Amino acid sequence: MAYSPKSPKNIHFVTLGCPKNRVDSELMLGRLAESGMAFTMEPTDADIIVVNTCGFIEDAKRESVEVILEMAQHRTNGRAQQLVVAGCLVQRYAKELEEEIPEVDTFLGTGAYETINDVLSGIREPGQGISTPTFLHSSTAPRINTFLPHSTYVKVAEGCDQKCSFCIIPTLRGLQRSRPITDIVREAEALAARGVVEFNLVAQDLTGYGYDQNPRTNLANLLEALAAIDSLRWVRVHYLYPRPFSKALLRVLSEANNIVPYIDMPLQHIADPVLKRMNRGRPRRFVEKLLKDIRSTMPNNLTLRTSFIVGFPGETDQDFQELCTFVQEQQFDRVGIFKFSREENTPSYDLPDQVPEEVAEERHNILANLLRESSRDKQAEFLGRRLEVLVDGVSSETELLLEGRHSGQAPEVDGTIYLNDGQELASAGDIVEVEITETHDYDLVGCIHRVIHPAPSRPAHARMDAPNAPALPTNQPRLRIID
Ligand code: SF4
């Protein structure tokens, strides 16, 4: 089926998975909007349906297949004339999906999503979309921000050169390709000019940013460049793999006014035998020293987020106990816990001593209970404090409240602050001073005292990020996110 701006089609778009996949979806949406597509929230009204999938672990794969099958119903029995499936699941299982779900017209791998218009217009044959991913977007690509108008994800690199034994990502996303600093700066400035306040930097391995560039650069250089842009209010770093942090990196993290004191560093485990089998490359003593260096350099208001995998092959009771003790000693501010997912075509699939599901489940529950207690204690420390809070808008719980986040609360993964007093003073995108009046296990409640930084004025096409962005489509694309 071909289309042109003279015959606009309705498109329904579903995104699954992580923020990095969301960025890919936003780039696809930018291309589609550029070609004159209209968007619909209802699959029943769609001429074309696109599903951008996740294929990282078992739960994500299952969810992706369920959504594809749901959308295939509209292709078979409804109005839709074309069903496009993109993303990590396609990169991983293209052949199987082609055989099992013939309702899908086009599969696009992770390195081919930018060709979506060519495929839809028939310039490119379906089936050419699965190749080794080498594509890297730039700031000139049209993009629609599907997230909050004042907050966005900035993908600074794609792919990963690490070889963690449980992870399929390097196969799905290819080797690391970092974007040039000048291009990231250009994108950040354009976003700020369109009213974005919070910039969430993402990559598979943010600490490794720039090592693949010629000449080499690094994360410290990138952050220094971003710190020099006055119009950026909050810059947040995600997915900092525990590699050595240079003095320059620690310095910019601790000194730059617009880089929030928030470190998101997935540690995965702490017992050396498990770290070794995970092929994480560095032992417990390295991780402890790194945490100590970070804490001593960034003593003020640091929020430390991490994640761990329980039930990894060969994890003994002793290893698990070591992890529990470590977590209690370190008093992380936020911890994500995941049960090991045995993924084919990863080295950990064939490791001996796979941990039974019920043991992994029990360990997950034990650690979750420990963390709930420590989260409650940490939250209690906020009572009575005054914090800078970014207002996200009207609360999803009730229209009577606003909600926002302090700098230690990343969007989508951390808690929120419900603002139940002073709402008349503020609106979305403002940074306000809030006094915390109640604390809960994960969320806080507070009252607004004053506006510190009003939201930047936002032009009419503010949801379009790229400098050459086309006009805003009529409806925001539908998003479904797996956390
Ligand atoms: S750092 Fe490890 S876990 Fe993260 S994407 Fe790379 S290989 Fe996967």
Q: Which atom of ligand 1 is nearest to the CA of 241?
A: 1
> Best mutation site among 92, 162, 211 for ligand 1, i.e. most ligand atoms within 8 A of its Cβ?
162
The rounded Cα 24 to chain-centroid distance in angstroms is 11
13: tokens are: 């778009």
Q: Which atom of ligand 1 is nearest to the CA of 160?
A: 6
Q: Which of 471, 474, 417, 473 is nearest to 448 (CA)?
A: 417
The DSSP result for 303-357, as a single string, is EEEEEEEES-TT--HHHHHHHHHHHHHHT-SEEEEEE----TTSGGGG-SSPPPH
Residue nearest to atom 5 of ligand 1 (CA): 204
pTM confidence score: 0.91
Q: Is the per-residue pLDDT at 130 higher than 90?
A: no
Q: Kindly report the backbone phi and psi dihedral angles of residue 132, in degrees, each rounded to the nearest multiple of 5, phi listed first.
A: -65, 125
> Best mutation site among 176, 205, 279, 312 for ligand 1, i.e. most ligand atoms within 8 A of its Cβ?
205
What is the CA(170)–ligand 1 centre distance, in A?
7
Per residue in 56-95, pLDDT tens? 888 899 999 999 999 999 999 989 999 999 999 998 998 8
The DSSP result for 416-469, as a single string, is -EEEEE-GGG--TT-EEEEEEEEE-SS-EEEEEEEEEEPPPP--TTTTB-STT-
Per residue in 338-364, pLDDT tens? 999 999 999 999 999 999 999 999 999
Q: Which atom of ligand 1 is nearest to the CA of 280?
A: 2
Pairing of strands 444-453, 386-394: unpaired
Per residue in 424-461, pLDDT tens? 999 999 999 999 999 998 899 999 999 999 998 765 54
What letter would DSSP give residue 2? -
Ligand 1, CB cutoff 6 Å, lining residues: 160, 162, 164, 167, 169-170, 204-205, 241
Indicate the residue type of 150: H
Residue nearest to atom 8 of ligand 1 (CA): 167
Domains of the chain in start order, with CATH, are 10-120 (3.40.50.12160), 151-380 (3.80.30.20), 386-453 (2.40.50.140)
pLDDT over 70, % of the chain: 91
Q: Which atom of ligand 1 is nearest to the CA of 163?
A: 7
Per residue in 367-378, pLDDT tens? 999 998 888 889
Q: Which atom of ligand 1 is nearest to the CA of 204?
A: 5
Indicate the pLDDT class of residue 126, thresholds 50, 70 and 90.
low
Indicate the pLDDT class of residue 124, thresholds 50, 70 and 90.
low
What is the CA(169)–ligand 1 centre distance, in A?
6
